[in-house]
Structure 1
């Protein structure tokens, strides 16, 4: 009887500890970024830190529920979960509430719910189910196309709601597919496309086309055995076409606010005075975020002692720019600590994914790690000015019930799947 009882508590406690550590430290920074005045009522539910505390308490009940469900349920009903999630995204076009320009929320009483956050988990389950049903690597064109369709459907629905940040997350599934046998040339295409885009915007389509021609011709003469003439010509035409297309999209199709963010990031404005003015107006949040982080120094100013944080210099600092609070109040040491915890969590999930005997569990584990990584990478890169400004929360850290619960579901489904391996006799 004791042996049977102990089986129910055999979970990977390292992953659970790292998750709780991020949630707890995240709440402290939300408290610091959102409180006003010298006295603090920790149970002031009109403030973001009070609301987040409620979300965290409800999260514990959600965890118990997720771990109580039989692990086979998630695999068996993954397709149903995916279908329901897609319907919830479609429903936003009729019943959705517009928040900050994105129609991504359902208003339920006094609360709002963002289904795109939960759609990431549903997509990870659907991809894991499809690949595991194949019982092989996705090395045929048919399997690749069908997998891409599963990923593309929610991405398209989300981008139509003007939520670019959430759309980019679906690119993280590339890492999952690569692990499961996606040919390496997809990786080469992806990296080359990113490089071409940056060069086209920075130096112009003509100069980029000339550079692409030199590289492709040079590669052909060095690697004749690997690359045929018609392949070289096709790649060259594709590269030149992509270069001019990117420039056209940037000038004529991209929304002004997104165009401005890229202009600032790549310093595309030739007039230094105009560029600086753009940084002071359009990139105000980013400028203040960078100032807050740099002012923290090595050890930080101390908890709730950050002058730029308490002075509300960074608008909505408790959401996407929460990491700037860490930088100012906890300094380089605190920022490094947060990054290390995230890296440890990612490495732990990947390690557990490789230990899985079920392909479904392994693929899903890689999906979990990939989604968390892309959120972590983009958010911190954005806050520090390393990549363009993209509205995307820091997992377990940023304020918001939908985000916290979505990542809780994402992680604890995997913990439950992994428990089957741990509890085997």
Structure 2
């Protein structure tokens, strides 16, 4: 049997089918959300659905190219690809185009490209390469710091644009590190800081500090009373660090966060007591979510039917072809349609994790887990944002939302793993 035939047989056709189903359903909903009376056909490039069809066609070219390249290429040149990704982010400071307050795009005529979408692929490759080179679980502090540097450098550059949504996605990599042996203390620290931040905003730094001090001292005297002196000291230092963080929350909130970030926290946590100011914030930042919830709720069980969504056709929900594309699914296809879309995403995620665990190469396994983590983060945050569980942060729904950079980035991300999986490095 020839090498080519053997490779074709090893391709994960099920993952490819799920990809094409999601892209196809996404395009159908983009068409419904964006078509106008002036449209002249499916290939009308003046319409968003026409442009998206072009992006889908070019994605097919990318898929063929990715699957044609030798699998070892991605591991061998991962460092160069990562550096190129960082340079593309740095270049935005000089050559970037400002759109909606963020300098996140390069513009070539009417064509724009967002390098942050491709930087995720570069980071996945670099992290997978580093973890595969050390060939051990990352218990060593130096290995942990290098991993953190690989992960955190791109979002630091992205925050300069500023684009908080794209930067947030990089938190997904810490789940990959946990799979590869990162001590769970880091996840607990992250969770604790987020919890303390929210509690402090909600009840104030005085109440939060006193409550943390009481709970911390009780824990130290009950659970660490018989512990070694070093452990008691570490627990006490952790308590001091927690209270110090609480005291710094107000400064971070009012001096580091932008006004629109503060308004979104104010809306979600109900921090504003003045009903006039709260209503003003709600109209500004809660409008998208309120309209999205109304649109999805109006779809009922079966939905109103394709192109029959009154709120979709009436353009009630801003950004309905990009970040809020899921509202079109909810209104026109109802509970059944949204359930099918969620099922397809979950099935794809589970499929990727299953194939990742089967890899003989650590590089391929880490890469597969990273793909699943990024897709899950986008999927969970986007849908949570649309139904009001999370504030609006500008995270697209993979394979669904309109945009060439997003579709190409997710396509490259997924199909490099399909290539690695089909090749089964070190198996031949």
TM (normalized to structure 2)? Answer: 0.96
CA contact (8 A) 2:360 2:427 kept: no
What displacement does 1:380 show?
Answer: 0.8
Secondary structure in 2 matching 1:103: strand
CA contact (8 A) 1:7 1:423 kept: no
Match of 1:21 in 2: 21
What displacement does 1:205 show?
Answer: 1.0
Match of 2:363 in 1: 360
C-alpha RMSD of the superposition: 1.7
1:235 to 230, 235, 238: 238
What displacement does 1:424 show?
Answer: 4.7
CA contact (8 A) 1:217 1:232 kept: no
Match of 1:132 in 2: 132
2:297 to 294, 315, 319: 294
What displacement does 1:356 show?
Answer: 0.4
Matches within 5 A, 1:333-372: 333-372=336-375
Match of 2:98 in 1: 98
CA distance in 2, matches of 1:349, 1:423: 19
Match of 2:220 in 1: 220
Match of 2:412 in 1: 409
What displacement does 1:109 show?
Answer: 2.9
Gaps of 5+ in 1: none
Match of 1:36 in 2: 36
TM (normalized to structure 1)? Answer: 0.96
Match of 2:331 in 1: 328
What displacement does 1:98 show?
Answer: 0.7
Match of 1:165 in 2: 165
Match of 1:418 in 2: 421
CA contact (8 A) 2:361 2:425 kept: no
CA contact (8 A) 1:164 1:390 kept: yes
Structure 1 segments (4+ residues) deviating >6 Å = none
CA distance in 2, matches of 1:188, 1:88: 33
Match of 1:376 in 2: 379
What displacement does 1:226 show?
Answer: 5.8
Please list the CA deviations of residues 220-239 of structure 1 after superposition, one character each: whole Å capped at 9, or x if unmatched: 23322568331222111111
CA distance in 1, matches of 2:14, 2:73: 24
**In 2 relative to 1, CA 217–63 (structure 1 residues): closer, same or farther, beyond 3 Å?**
same
CA contact (8 A) 1:298 1:331 kept: yes
Secondary structure in 1 matching 2:106: strand
CA distance in 1, matches of 2:64, 2:52: 19
Match of 1:89 in 2: 89
What displacement does 1:127 show?
Answer: 0.3
CA contact (8 A) 2:361 2:426 kept: no
Secondary structure in 1 matching 2:239: helix
Match of 2:153 in 1: 153
Please list the CA deviations of residues 238-267 of structure 1 after superposition, one character each: whole Å capped at 9, or x if unmatched: 111111212221123321111101110111
Task: Note if 1:311 corresponds to 2:314.
Answer: yes
* Count of residues in correspondence between the two structures: 424
Secondary structure in 1 matching 2:130: helix
CA contact (8 A) 1:36 1:310 kept: no
Secondary structure in 2 matching 1:26: helix
Match of 2:48 in 1: 48
CA distance in 2, matches of 1:45, 1:292: 28
Match of 1:7 in 2: 6
Please list the CA deviations of residues 262-285 of structure 1 after superposition, one character each: whole Å capped at 9, or x if unmatched: 110111111334323321233221
Range with greater deviation from structure 2 (269-278 or 101-110): 269-278
CA distance in 2, matches of 1:340, 1:212: 41
CA contact (8 A) 1:292 1:309 kept: yes
Match of 1:268 in 2: 271
Match of 1:244 in 2: 247
